[in-house]
Each structure stands twice: as C-alpha cells, then as structure tokens.
Amino acid sequence: MTNPSIHATAIIDPSADIAEDVEIGPWTLIGPDVKIGAGTKIASHVVIKGPTEIGCNNRIYQFSSVGEDTPDLKYKGEQTRLVIGDNNIIRECVTLHRGTVQDRSETTIGNNNLLMAYVHVGHDSVIGNHTILVNNASLAGHVVVDDWAILGGFTLVHQYCRIGAHCFTGMGSAIGKDVPAYTMVTGAPAAARSINSEGLKRRGFTKDEIAMIQKAYKLIYRRGLTVDEAVLELKASLADYPCLQPLVDSLELSSRGIVR
C-alpha cells in the first residue's frame, strides 16, 4: 500500500528506516543507511545520504544536502556518520557533512536548533541545543558550537574553534580562535566586544547573574590576565555564582586561544 505522506516521485532506498508518519516531498532522494524519526517533514528536492540518523519532529526544507561525504582531502570513503536530534529546523540549501575517521567519525547536531538558508556544517563538527545559525553561517571541520549560541549571517568559523554557550557573533564575523561563553564578538578577524546581555535577559538570567557575568568579562578582557589566571579567579566565585561554570568550562576547554 502506498504511503500517502510520501510523494510518488520520491526516491527511497529500501533499506532506509523511516517512521510511518514521516512526510517526504517530491523528487527527494533518501539513500541507504538512513534513519528518520517520527513527525519529521522533508520538503521537495532534498538529498539525504547515509549513514545518517535523524530524530523526531524535524523540518528539512528544499534543496538541502544532508549526510554527504566531506570534501576534506583526507576522507577516503570510510564509514562515518551524521546524527541529528529532535525538533530542528533546517532551512533551504543547508549542507551537512558526515565526519572523518581521523577525528570523531561523526558530525552531531543536537535538539531545537534553527539552521537558516545556506548554512554549512563541516565534518566532525558538534552543534549543541537551542542554537541559531543565521543565513550563510559556515562551520569548517571540527568546530564545536555550545548551547544557545547565535551565529550572525555570513559568520565564518575556522576549523577546531569552539563557540561557547550563549555567545553571539555579529554578521560577517571571521572567527579564528575560541569564543568564551556569554561573549559577543564582531569583525574580521573577530574581536570581543561585550557580553550577550540581551540574550541572557531573554533566557531568564537574573540581574545579579548578568552583572556577575559582566564582571567576569572585564576580569578576562580588561585586567591583562592570562587565561589560566582568569580561570583561577573565576573559580573562587563559582560557589556563589554557578552561572559562571559555562564560562570557566569554555576557557579550560580552549585549545586555540580565545578571541581578544
């Protein structure tokens, strides 16, 4: 019996594991080793290649390329994956590449993310939850974007960089170093400007928490301390202000140095 939620022109490999209520538009191609969870809607002219696992209640718009081989020259056709969580919106012409065996063998996208038109997520990258990547934001390979970060349009992120939780990047930012949690950066090359105070207000941070985060920002950027020295001072305040933990974590996990 024909599934009425799958258009007759869709091309679906028999081995694909697709939940019964998934909607698939015309001329979409779904290859082998693809799993798609319940409630997901896929528009027309989408290409999904495996191994790829897509969770529940996602929306994938037309002309997106999901789970394609990475163009990284070290990739030689090894078995790698793309894993996408639940409740994500993937807009027009987004490109999401699988991983490489030289790193994680997996590109990972969490839950409740919005990837706007022409966003690119390179191999082995990790996107957390509740992030927004605005039109044409591009992640090179091995990039980490933590929860609630917002990347402005045409933001470019160099490989191996980490974008901390609740960060905000201005349009056209070119990021070549790690961005600590809560920080707002702009420019090419990107420079730290302030904390993302408006974003923190919208997410329910208290006035005291925001004031403490602002104080921590000044400690990092205005006092001439090394990152290690700043971390030691921030840790002394963690008991009273646990909101500083993501900032401490992002500083301690930094491998490329932080945007200044």
Kindly list the catalytic residues. Answer: 123-124, 141
C-alpha separations of 21 from 6, 25, 88, 107, 181 in Å: 9, 13, 17, 26, 39
- The alpha carbon of residue 1 and the mean position of all alpha carbons in its chain are separated, in whole angstroms, by 39
Residues near 98 by Cβ (< 8 Å), separated by ≥ 6?
51, 52, 67, 68, 69, 70, 80, 81, 82, 106, 107, 123
Separation between Cα atoms, residue 73 and residue 86, nearest integer Å:
31
Token output for 123: 């191999």
Token output for 227: 């990152």
Crossing angle (nearest 10°) for helices 207-222 and 245-252:
30
